[in-house]
Amino acid sequence: MSTSIVRLDGNPDPDVSAPPAERLIAGTPQLRVQNYYTDASQQFFAGRWSATRGKWRVRYTENELCVMTAGRVVITGDSGERHSFAAGDAFVVPAGFSGTWEVLEDCSKIYAIFEASHT
């Protein structure tokens, strides 16, 4: 296991995808993930994520710290609770959250994810 500092810059090849058709609500968003770090337990991840405009359903099994670096999004829980975020905002999405992500302006964020072991 490396104990070196990991910078979240440079250009690792991004994983490019779209939300699954059954979760897509509006638009044709393109998602890009550049994961810079995965710990030895495969439970902690950090990197950069970006998306183009659109809206889709989400269901979190992980805890995620998000720091918006560009754009604007609205995250709405199944309960109707609505949160707007823009560049410079930081927030945590807890495991168990279910609702929608809506990208109003093409966005990007830095993320840190902890996925508890399912064993």
Looking at the predicted structure, is the pLDDT value of residue 119 above 60?
no
- What whole-number distance in Å separates Cα of residue 27 and Cα of residue 35? 25
Rounded CA-CA distance 117/119 in Å is 6
Residue 101 to residue 70: CA distance in whole angstroms: 15
Domains and CATH numbers, the chain: 15-114 (2.60.120.10)
pLDDT digits (tens, 9 = 90+) for 66-118: 999 999 999 999 999 999 999 999 999 999 999 999 999 999 999 999 998 76
Q: Tell me: the pLDDT tens digits for 20-41?
A: 999 999 999 999 999 999 999 9
What pLDDT is recorded for position 2? 74
Contact criterion met (CB below 8 Å) for 32 and 51? yes
Average pLDDT of the chain to the nearest whole number: 95
More confident residue, 3 or 42: 42
Q: Determine whether 102 is exposed, middle or buried from the number of CB atoms within 10 Å of its CB (0-12, 13-18, 19+).
A: buried
Length reported for the chain = 119
Type of residue numbered 106: D
